[in-house]
Homo-oligomer: A and B are copies of this chain.
Amino acid sequence: MTCISIVSGGLDSVTMAYWLANEGYVQRLLSFDYGQRHVKELESAQRCADALNVAHTVVDLHSVTPLLWGSSLTDLAVDVPDGHYAAPSMAATVVPNRNAIMLSIAYAAAIADGAYAVAMGVHTGDHFIYPDCRPDFIKRFAAMERVAAEGHIVEGFRLLTPFLKVDKTEIARQAHLLGVPIADTWSCYKGREVHCGQCGTCVERKEALHLAGVADPTEYMA
């Protein structure tokens, strides 16, 4: 069974790809280059594809970027906020409608490929800030696509979100169990030489590995 897996190169999506490989899915990894300043994550997605020996396609969405000003992930005039990932200031890291855009394109690829599933690594820790990571969004997106893709998608098609109801600590635990090369994944929103250790996603990464009791091989600036 084939699956189009949306893999950014972060800990969550890379662990998901390993989890799906372990479940027996034949995957095609899909990444998105939308002008994020942490474009380094795409190299990490490529390392994941190489390790799993699967195809990897990067979809260039640079022309969408000018539509998305106002987010610190793409607008260099906006600072990436430091602090806890559940803090209100993290709303500045929201790229408008990102998951609907990425999922729509992944579905197009799934239809063209005759794939059995699309997969995305959202988890409960994302729910604080990102409305498009919540179970209700996933449910409605799948319902919308059942109509949109009617007659064009394989019977029994599924939108897989294996981590939708678990937190990042559980993902860190799974990463350890599945032998994910954690040092090869990239989380930091700042996208410098090494992880900054202070932005929301670095704080979240450190915390999850610590709480899972998994050694953290990441090099942090602070």
Contacts and interface: CB of A to CB of B under 8 A. Distances in A.
A215 interface: no
A6 to B, nearest CB: 13
A213 interface: no
A151 B141 CA distance: 18
A149 B96 contact: yes
A171 to B, nearest CB: 22
Contacts of A50: none
A13 B69 CA distance: 26
Interface string A83-112: 000000000001111111101110111011
Interface string A51-65: 000000111111110
Contact of A59 (B67, B147, B148): B67
Contacts of A165: none
Contact of A152 (B96, B141, B147): B96
Contacts of A149: 96-97, 131-132
Contacts of A107: 96-97, 100
Given A100-B104, A101-B105, A108-B101, A66 B57 contact: yes
A61 to B, nearest CB: 8
A97 to B, nearest CB: 4
A125 to B, nearest CB: 18
20 contacts: A59-B67, A67-B108, A70-B112, A97-B107, A97-B111, A100-B100, A100-B104, A100-B144, A101-B108, A131-B147, A131-B149, A131-B150, A131-B152, A132-B147, A134-B147, A137-B148, A140-B140, A141-B144, A143-B144, A144-B144
B108 A131 contact: no
Interface residues of A, number: 45
A136 interface: yes
Contacts of A66: 57
CB-based closest 4 A-B pairs:
A96-B111, A60-B63, A140-B144, A97-B108
A112 B94 CA distance: 11
A154 interface: no
